[in-house]
Amino acid sequence: MLTDIIKAYNEAVFETDKEAAFLIVDKALASGLTPEEVVFEVVIPAVEEMMSLITKDPDANLAQHFMTAQIASEVTEAMLAKFHHPPEVIGRVVIGTAAGDLHSLGKRIVIGCLKSLMVEVADLGVNVPAERFVDEAVGRNAQVIGISAMMVHTATGADGSLKVRRILRERGLEDRIKVVVGGAPYRFDGELYKTAGADAWAADGITAGRVIVDLIRQAKTP
């Protein structure tokens, strides 16, 4: 039964059919699966499968990326409300678009994936000053700062991730808080994230989930 549910859910997600995905989840609950099983045995494996597919095909459809993340996020949120015990959060992230940049689609994809992977996310919005990234990360005890930039000048500008890095260094927080970046400029130059002062980068919103989980594990808790 579980195998059939997983197969049907994956097909619905990959077809970006949210209504069908929720119908399958309802059927799974009615057949006896727990909300916890739906999340950990159906939803998360589907996200991981999409990560695997994108690794093989980096030009996969952006709309499919977004809907996969959105469906995963919404199903997870619905199931969390039904959990018998609150799930253990594996880490915390603050995420936003760099100062001077107003693009948000990639960020929204990342947030959807992170929620389904049991990562607590604070969305700081767009045009976020470097100081706010750091202050929010410290205030929320976050292990990772995620910075999105869709233009070269916001990716490498003095008010973006470079300034975040400088502030972390000045405050002695580089071991505790990691920086990940993403967006179009980084896809054109795989080494640009180093110039921008980041610890890592992600080529797309889906695989960013895996990159961020790895950074969470690297960060040293105070």
Domain boundaries, the chain: 2-80, 91-218
Q: Give DSSP secondary structure letters for 170-200.
A: HTT-TTT-EEEEESHHHHH-TTHHHHTT-SE
pLDDT band at 48; cut points 50, 70, 90: confident
Alpha helix locations (H) across 15-129? Answer: 18-30, 35-37, 44-56, 62-80, 105-116
Which residue has better confidence, 180 or 149?
Answer: 180
Q: Do the Cβ atoms of 212 and 119 come closer than 8 Å? A: yes
Q: What is the pLDDT of residue 54?
A: 64
> In this model, does residue 58 exceed pLDDT 60?
no
For 2-12, the pLDDT digits (tens) are 888 888 988 88
pLDDT band at 154; cut points 50, 70, 90: confident
CA angle 84, 40, 95 (to 5 degrees): 95
CATH number attached to the domain at 91-218: 3.40.50.280
Let me know if 40 is exposed, middle or buried by CB neighbors in 10 A (0-12, 13-18, 19+): middle
> In this model, does residue 161 exceed pLDDT 60?
yes
Which residue has better confidence, 10 or 85?
Answer: 10
Q: What is the pLDDT of residue 82?
A: 83
Q: What is the pLDDT of residue 183?
A: 84
Q: Which fold has domain 2-80?
A: 1.10.1240
Q: Which residue, 19, 25, 59, 62, is CA-closest to 41?
A: 25
pTM listed for this prediction: 0.78
